Structure 1
């Protein structure tokens, strides 16, 4: 069953995703991934519906959502920039990149620009330690970054969305 964006109420769409994964082993995680794919985030208004459908407490559902950094509670920008801040990347300039990105986009880590173009996030390892500092931009991994290369890659990602 495919849920068509925009059809039905939000609660109906959430229930449709739950129904697709209800029989899965450990159904909560597949459901959360399905909702993230469907809506782009898992809003707080979805938590009671999920909890009711799976006979879980709202706290249990919220706990899983908040535990995993990949689940969002609000929509992300069209371009998501995830900057690695693990020790290997820090040793070769990651903090300089973080400061630069915060200044350029005018947002803190975990925030989205007012116009919804860029979400700036931190991660603590992208598995690209030998090529740090590293970032993931719209799911694509990049290494050996400096401020200019980061700016270029983000501009290219933004241009590709249009």
Structure 2
């Protein structure tokens, strides 16, 4: 329990520092979210109100931006995007999506196209792109990500 309290305090302290750095910039929300994501690896949902208050925005506006952009996320851990475009689907991306979701639960997102159709099926793990993905390769990559 005390570890969660320490993390929450640390998150709020980092968020406050980031807000102070960008508060007076026009359109500060995106730079704030990028800096928080870079510092923590995700945007803790408990800080949405703090971000909104610090930038004079509503919680809905902050949440809307976080949920709209695929690079922002509320959960720690690897971010896995699996292409569900036609080429990738024809090469088995649906099975990869099921496998990744079974292994990770949260943090797996189907996307329409990663732009590498010639090397289908494609995945993106925390901004590292991998083509010609198999279930065996995916299991190995996810095991390394989870262990890190």
TM-score range, shorter chain: 0.7 to 0.9
Could you tell me the TM-score, scaled by structure 2's length?
A: 0.79
Could you tell me the TM-score, scaled by structure 1's length?
A: 0.73
Cα distance in 2 for residues equivalent to 1:50 and 1:155? 34
Are 1:92 and 2:102 counterparts?
Answer: no
Change (3 A) 1:102 1:157: closer
Q: State the superposition RMSD in angstroms.
A: 2.6
Greater share of residues in helix: 2
Report the equivalent of 1:138.
126
Say which SS state the counterpart of residue 82 (structure 2) adopts.
strand
Change (3 A) 1:63 1:157: closer
Are 1:31 and 2:20 counterparts?
Answer: no
Post-superposition shift, 1:16? 0.8
Report the equivalent of 1:128.
116
Unaligned runs of 5+ in 2: 1-6
Are 1:154 and 2:107 counterparts?
Answer: no
Say which SS state the counterpart of residue 38 (structure 2) adopts.
helix
Say which SS state the counterpart of residue 83 (structure 1) adopts.
strand
Report the equivalent of 2:4.
none
Number of aligned residue pairs: give it. Answer: 143
Report the equivalent of 1:21.
22
Q: Is the deviation greater in 127-136 or in 66-75?
A: 66-75
Unaligned runs of 5+ in 1: 1-5, 112-118
Say which SS state the counterpart of residue 46 (structure 2) adopts.
coil
